A and B are shown apart, each in its own frame.
Chain A
Amino acid sequence: MIYTENVDGKFKKQTFEIASYGADIARQYGGEAVALSIGNVAGDELKLLAQYGITKVLNVNNDALANLENQTYAAIVAKAAQDEGAEVVVFSGSNTAKAVAPRVSVKLKAGMVFAATGLPVSLDPFTISKKVFHGKAFAKVIISSQIKVISLAQNSFGVHENPVEIAVQDYEPQIDMAVKTKVSQVEKASGKVLLNDAEIIVSGGRGLKGSENWAPLEELADILGAATACSRPVSDEGWRPHSEHVGQTGKIVAPNLYFALGISGAIQHLAGVSSSKVIVAVNTDIDAPVFQAADYGIVGDVQKILPQLNKAFRKFKSEN
């Protein structure tokens, strides 16, 4: 069973990725891939899951569930998994997954692996890979319980089309829906590319020397449709908000293209970006560790190079 999360009633790429992933695991078991959706998601949106091998969706739509209530959401997922006789429960690697999946694991007495990096390498014993020490090593993990809870690391499987017939069923579990963590206010930026969704991330470090020098970096992000990020010293100095800090103790990201601009590449920073497909680094010091992790590098002062990058990418965008 796959918990298919939505944002404002829409599924995101990560949801289709875990749907594809769950469908593949179900095939290995010779079973069925069932999705569970909680929230106000339209029928047409739910049916999109058919493209990725989901044959049934349990749809829980109740006003009492408008906001994430970890205890209730976990109770619903666990109940549905039991009703469906699910052997594997799949989550994404999102904040919601972090909030709900561990509770489901306890309810089902199911061993859990967070941020698996691919399909199980064996079903008996159930063995799956994940990164440990933030990518400094990979490990194989055996889950010994009958039911397994798996979260998939973002962009580690990909979206695979596999169209099937789908049945949408309303699902009304009889559980306590008391709200114990009331949401009193929501603050959301609009129109910005979000770090967790970004295909391209433009990240700045101490080499930019101060918050007043961020305009050209934001311009590059704008040209490429990228999200902006920063290294830890930058957020510690207050040049950029903490929510932009990428690295071991900040956000772990996995975009297609990551620009490390004026970032020396401390081991903790690299641990947070090592899953990026391509890394471009600009730094004055040719011996900076960031060049060990990068695919393409330019040695030079980022404040001088950035305007040139903007010019070159703008030219490229106008021609392509």
Chain B
Amino acid sequence: MKILVCVSNVPDTTTRIKLSGDQSAVDLAGVQWIINPWDELALTRALELKEASGGKIEKITVISVGEKTAEPTMRKALAIGADDAIRVDATPGDAFAVAHEISQAVKDESYDIILCGIESSDYNGSAMGGMLSEFLSLPSVSSVSKLDIEGDQVKVNREISGGYEVVEPEMPFVAIVQKGIAKEPRIPSMRGIMMARKKPLKVVESCGAEALTAFTAYQPPQAKAACKMIDADNVAELVDLLHNEAKII
């Protein structure tokens, strides 16, 4: 069995977002790049499954669409434990283009499970995994918060309003995963980092996929009015303000 994990290279989630002078772009100078948190959890779960599989899961591949600058993030994925990596050499235009590129890059390979994070922490598109499954004509399950393999059957929990459904997908399939899928992301060990240098990172050519959307202008969020402080001995005032001033209760 083979698992593919799609990873996106994103600014660290604690980054303060600065805009370029004309507000046409986000200023990414000096930004720390990381594996998109949901993709990182997906990779962690894939590694746990492989370790518990007794050799049944033979390989975990990570794939990313990006320029050479994305390679340190891919090396980190290898250091955590992925077996090999594929970088599609293209500027990631939008989710549509990224999904198209990945579908072309993997069309001759047979992965049994493809894992994608439910969104990326930069443009919050929530689209790539679903689009990839459609490009590949594969079934997909989204909002997956648990994934287990029992014999030859995969069982996943799909979050629904107020609970979850247990879904048994036919393989191969695409799982679009969210929080809960794995507890803590792994930190690469020194040995992992050394080994990652020797693991294969294949660069494949872009298929020239076109983006259908483009970000044109940015704005910082509106500044919030100062917080009104209420004395800890007089919480009734809060109730009064919420009722008469904010008119929210």
Seen from chain A, the residues whose Cβ lies within 8 Å of a Cβ on chain B are: 7, 67-71, 74, 94-95, 98-103, 105-107, 109-115, 127, 130-145, 151, 180-190, 192, 194, 196-197, 200, 224, 236, 242-243, 245, 248-250, 256-257, 267-268, 271, 274, 277-278, 280-281, 291-300, 304-305, 308-309, 312-313, 315-316, 320
Contact (Cβ within 8 A) B221 A182: no
> Hey, which chain A residues are within 8 Å of B216, CB to CB?
127, 139-142
Residue numbers in A under 8 Å from B221 (CB-CB): 135-138, 274
Closest 8 interchain pairs by CB? A102-B130, A111-B212, A99-B142, A300-B232, A188-B163, A106-B134, A180-B139, A185-B166
B213-245 interface code vs A (CB 8 A; 1 in, 0 out): 111111111001101111110011011011100
Taking a contact as CB atoms closer than 8 A, the residue among B13, B214, B225 that contacts A295 in the complex is B225
| Closest beta carbon of chain A to B56's beta carbon, Å | 22
Q: How far, in angstroms, from A312 to B241 measured CA to CA in the complex?
A: 12
Contact segment of B66-74, B78-86, B115-123: B115-123
Q: Which partner residue on chain B sits nearest A243 by CB separation?
A: B159
Interchain CA distance A35-B162 in the complex, whole Å: 26
B170 at the interface (CB under 8 A from A): yes
A111 lies within 8 A of B94 (CB): yes
Complex: A228 Cα to B165 Cα, angstroms: 21
**Contacts A133-B122, A144-B214, A257-B248; A186 near B165 (Cβ below 8 A):** yes
Min CB gap B37→A, angstroms: 5
Beta-carbon contact of B179 and A242 below 8 Å: yes
A132/B122 contact (C-beta < 8 A), A102-B127, A143-B213, A312-B239 known: yes
A216 CB, nearest partner CB in chain B, Å? 13
Closest to A12 in B: B161
Given contacts A186-B165, A256-B248, A298-B235, is CB(A291)–CB(B227) below 8 Å?
Answer: yes
**Interface check B58, CB cutoff 8 A:** no
In the complex, what residues of B have CB within 8 A of residue A316's CB? 239, 243, 249
Which residue of chain A is the closest to B141 with respect to CB atoms? A181
B130 proximity list for chain A (CB < 8 A): 70, 98-103, 105
Residues of B contacting A67 with CB < 8 Å?
Answer: 165
CB-CB < 8 A to A185: which residues of B?
A: 165-166
Q: Does the CB pair A181–B139 fall under 8 Å?
A: yes
Instruction: Please count the residue pairs between chain A and chain B whose beta carbons lie under 8 angstroms apart in the complex.
Output: 276
Q: Which of chain B's residues 100-119 have a Cβ closer than 8 Å to chain A?
A: 118-119
Bound: A106/B133 CA distance, A = 10
If A111-B96, A137-B218, A309-B235 touch, whether A184 touches B167 (CB-CB below 8 Å) is: yes
Q: In the docked arrangement, what's the CA distance between A140 and B135, Å? A: 27
B180 sits at the interface (CB 8 A): yes
The chain B residues found within 8 Å of chain A, CB to CB, are: 11, 13-17, 19, 26, 37-38, 94-96, 99, 118-119, 121-131, 133-135, 139-143, 145, 155, 158-170, 173, 176, 179-180, 183-184, 211-221, 224-225, 227-232, 235-236, 238-239, 241-243, 246, 248-249
**Residue of A102, A107, A151 with highest tally of chain B CB at under 10 A:** A102
Residue of A133, A140, A315 touching B217 (CB-CB under 8 A): A140
User: Interface on chain A toward B: helix, strand, loop, or mixed SS?
Assistant: mixed
Complex partner residue of B219 from A103, A127, A137, A242, CB under 8 angstroms: A137
Across the interface, which residues of B come within 8 angstroms of A249, CB to CB?
13, 37-38, 121, 179
Q: Could you say which of B14, B19, B119, B162 has the most chain A C-beta atoms within 10 Å of its C-beta?
A: B162
Pick the contact of B126: A98, A268, A299, A309 (CB < 8 A).
Answer: A98
Collect the chain B residues with CB atoms within 8 Å of residue A188's CB.
160, 162-163
Partner of B124, one of A70, A115, A280: A115
A297 to B235 alpha-carbon distance, docked (Å): 10
A246 to B153, CA, bound (A): 32
Chain B residues, Cβ within 8 Å of A300: 232
On whether A267 and B13 interact (CB within 8 A), knowing A242-B180, A280-B238, the answer reads: yes
Q: How far is the CA of A69 from the CA of B140 in the complex (A)?
A: 8
Evaluate contact between A299 and B180: CB separation under 8 angstroms: no
Please give, as numbers and ranges, the residues of chain A lying within 8 Å of B176 by CB-CB distance: 98-99
In angstroms, how far is the closest chain B Cβ from the Cβ of A175? 13
Q: Is the CB of B142 within 8 A of A141?
A: no
Partner of A131, one of B124, B160, B167: B124
A110's contact among B140, B184, B212, B231, by CB below 8 Å, is which? B212
Q: How far is the CB of B174 from chain A (nearest CB, A)?
A: 9
Is there an interface contact between B141 and A70, defined as CB atoms closer than 8 Å?
yes
Q: Given A135-B221, A137-B17, A189-B162, answer yes or no on A305-B213 (Cβ-Cβ < 8 Å).
A: no
Residues of chain A within 8 A of B11, CB atoms compared? 133
Q: With contacts A105-B131, A113-B213 known, what are 7 further pairs, Cβ within 8 A?
A: A112-B212, A132-B26, A136-B17, A137-B19, A196-B161, A197-B161, A236-B184
Which residue of chain A has the shortest Cβ distance to B210 in the bound complex? A144
Q: How far is the CB of B143 from chain A (nearest CB, A)?
A: 4
Q: Which of chain B's residues have a CB closer than 8 A to the CB of A94?
A: 161
Cβ of A50 to closest chain B Cβ, rounded Å: 25
Among B122, B229, B232, contact of A305 (Cβ-Cβ < 8 Å): B232
Please give, as numbers and ranges, the residues of chain A lying within 8 Å of B227 by CB-CB distance.
Answer: 281, 291-292, 294-297
